[in-house]
Amino acid sequence: MDEVSLYKKHVKFHQTLDNVDSPNLSKIKEISKRIHFASISSEKQIFNNLGNVYHTEKSDYGDYISNLTIDYIIIPKNIGCVYGQVNTKNVEQDGNDEKKATFKNSRFNNYARFIVDLMTHKVVFSKVLQCFVIAKNNTYEKVDETSFLLNYPVDKKHQIDDFLKIMIEIYQEHFSDEHDYKILQYSFAGNDWIYNCDSLEYKKHTPKPKELYALKYDVDKKDINTSIVKDFFDSFTDSEESKNNVRLLHAYAMFRKMNLIHAEKWFLLKDFGRTGKGLFIETLKKLLKVNRVNFDSLLAGGFEASNEWLKFYGTDVAHANETGEISPKMMRILRKIATGETITGRGIGSNSYKFDNSSVLILDTNESVDTGEITANTSRTVKIAFKDRPKDETVDERHKIFKPYWDFIKPNNENSEIASVSFLIASLEYLKEIGKEFIFNHVTLKNYFSEDDLTETQIVILQTLAKQGFIPAGDETLRPLIEEDYKNLKNKRAKEDMKKIGVVVNKQKKIEGINAKVHLIGNPVLFNLALKLLKES
């Protein structure tokens, strides 16, 4: 790559612009014609940020204008770009008229920078992806309208609405630009290995300089440890059903990033504290872009909310950690994230950006959640329960049990990339083991940690239903307890408390041939979980 070859390539590109139809074509041509490539040929030029612009205005053989200020460095100490217009005029010298080239600077802009990046293959067009990608350190970033505006910002007054569309049309239909990058769209890599998510193939391979992966990690194959990952799940998940679900989470998030699956599921993690759930979340942060759901900012409205929504652009995992009650307004935010709605965000001093949210929602809570309110479809919800710690466990005992996992996942209180990749590889290998399909189990999450969390009404109903299967709605023993706890069972809190222990109230049932209103077991799993608390007490 030198200034002459870049000049020739740019001439071909510039001539191709006339093949597109756009009301903004003239603006784009004016930007393009001001791009000039310059060699940097001395230590003095390096120090003073100067270069020698190559042009053909004086002669078809080419000439240089020396020591012009570089606007954009392409290769440090070697090649740069200067932005402006080369003009020639006839001057008399030794009695003869000769052409003299002069240069008038223009203000460099990001449309010009994008064209330069195309000419120099910092940005290339992928025929497979049918879009531009930014090439960097063995990885690629897709360029869509939003990422273009974020990477190549232009003030609103000078924006060209169809600039990116025109560039795509040129590269799709008119301009043949062969690059030597190999784009592996479904693969991520380490230092000496690659993993193809489409085929679930894991093999030793040292990435080559021109290979571009969805992600690249600074991890050697020998350091990946999936055994400790399995031990972690064996030790801290509440059931085999939950363990299956949580073992698939990393793989599911990676498949979503690579668009190998549609946005279908969101994850609900629930416990009553100090179970390892928070440590598990840490294993995602070195793998993917994780964004914390900031309810305070999102609920504030106005610019604060718009600015917070912008953080979801490019986010792979949206993590909502909420220990208090989830209000209806918060529920609407969670639904917007979980269902992949189109989001509008705005940065400080910049324009609004509209994009499709593609992040996987993880709601991490100790509260009961009506999953239907989030997605209007409970089958989209993947529930995961971590194992509650023994009630009599001391802090020292708990620290001793968790220490090897803390040391692996957060050594010196810093997230380990090796540990994170180990969790990802373990998840993908488990997916392969179960037949390459995301099959999630139904899990019922318990709503209470101990008997102390239950009202007297709930306790008596649990004990009575366990013995006789139903309770007459007008039961005299129950009536004073209901009045003290709720006033009546039509009370909103009473309805929620009955639902949490798997009980339905005021249902019709024939008793000895007579229709009567009774309270019954509605959800046996929830009922048995609550009953178990009483037995453990």
**pLDDT the model gives residue 504:** 93
C-beta of residue 163 within 8 angstroms of C-beta of residue 24: yes
Angle, CA 134 vertex, CA 133 and CA 140 arms, to 5°: 75
**Interaxial angle between packed helices 249-257 and 240-247, expressed in degrees from 0 to 180 and rounded to the nearest 10:** 30
Exposed/middle/buried for 266, CB within 10 Å: 0-12, 13-18, 19+? buried
**Helix intervals (H) in 155-213:** 163-169
Q: Beta-carbon neighbour count of residue 222 at 10 Å?
A: 9
pLDDT digits (tens, 9 = 90+) for 234-280: 999 989 999 999 999 999 999 999 999 988 899 999 887 788 899 99
DSSP codes joined into one string, 116-165 = HHHHTTSEEEETTTTEEEEEETTEEEEE-HHHHHHHS---GGG--TTHHH
pLDDT digits (tens, 9 = 90+) for 309-352: 999 999 999 999 876 778 888 888 998 898 888 899 887 766 78
**pLDDT the model gives residue 156:** 83
Cα distances from 142 to residues 130, 135, 199, 356, 491, in angstroms, run: 10, 9, 22, 14, 53
- Eight-state DSSP code of residue 419: H
Q: How far is CA 389 from the centre of its chain?
A: 31
Give the residue among 29, 20, 33, 27 at the shortest CA–CA distance from 160: 27
- What lies within 8 Å, CB to CB, of 151 at 6+ separation is 134, 143
Q: Looking at the chain, which residues constitute the CATH 1.10.10 domain(s)?
A: 451-536
Paired with 355 in beta bridges are 343
**pLDDT the model gives residue 92:** 62
CATH architecture of 451-536: Orthogonal Bundle (1.10)
Per-residue pLDDT at 91 exceeds 70: no
The pair phi, psi for residue 346, each rounded to 5°, is -145, 130
Correct CATH for 239-433 of 3.40.50.970, 3.90.1150.10, 3.40.50.300, 2.70.98.60: 3.40.50.300
Give the residue among 195, 259, 246 at the shortest CA–CA distance from 224: 195
Report the b/e string of 23-43 with b at 16+ CB within 10 A.
Answer: eebeebeebbebbbbbbbeee
pLDDT digits (tens, 9 = 90+) for 458-509: 999 999 999 988 999 888 889 999 999 998 888 889 998 999 899 999 898 8
pLDDT level of residue 95 (50, 70, 90 thresholds): low
As a whole number of angstroms, the distance between CA 402 and CA 410 comes to 11
C-beta of residue 10 within 8 angstroms of C-beta of residue 117: no
Among 29-38, 104-113, 199-208, 334-343, whose mean pLDDT is lowest?
Answer: 334-343
Q: Looking at the chain, which residues constitute the CATH 3.40.50.300 domain(s)?
A: 239-433
**pLDDT the model gives residue 377:** 65
State mean pLDDT over 184-209. 96
- What lies within 8 Å, CB to CB, of 366 at 6+ separation is 270, 271, 272, 273, 323
As a whole number of angstroms, the distance between CA 144 and CA 313 comes to 11
Q: Please state the length of the chain.
A: 537
SS (H, E, C) 229-284: HHHHHHHHECCHHHHHHHHCHHHHHHHHHCCCCCCCCEEEEECCCCCCHHHHHHCC
Q: How far is CA 190 from the centre of its chain?
A: 20
**pLDDT the model gives residue 57:** 81
Q: HSE-up of 105 (CA within 13 Å, CB side)?
A: 10
The pair phi, psi for residue 87, each rounded to 5°, is -125, 150
C-beta of residue 312 within 8 angstroms of C-beta of residue 318: yes
The pair phi, psi for residue 381, each rounded to 5°, is -90, 125
Tokens of 117: 């990046």
Per-residue pLDDT at 107 exceeds 90: yes
**pLDDT the model gives residue 208:** 95
The pair phi, psi for residue 243, each rounded to 5°, is -60, -40
Residue in the block written with tokens 């209007």: 376
Handedness of CA 268, 272, 275, 276 (dihedral sign): positive
As a whole number of angstroms, the distance between CA 375 and CA 337 comes to 9
Rounded-to-10 torsion of CA 360, 343, 355, 146: -120
Residue in the block written with tokens 């953080």: 311
pLDDT digits (tens, 9 = 90+) for 438-450: 999 999 888 877 7
Longest CA–CA span in the chain (Å) reads 127
Per-residue pLDDT at 97 exceeds 70: no
- Eight-state DSSP code of residue 4: H
**pLDDT the model gives residue 325:** 77
As a whole number of angstroms, the distance between CA 535 and CA 495 comes to 24
Tokens of 355: 């994009």
**pLDDT the model gives residue 9:** 95
Cα distances from 507 to residues 481, 504, 515, in angstroms, run: 20, 7, 10
Q: Beta-carbon neighbour count of residue 376 at 10 Å?
A: 11
As a whole number of Å, the CA-based R_g of the chain is: 32
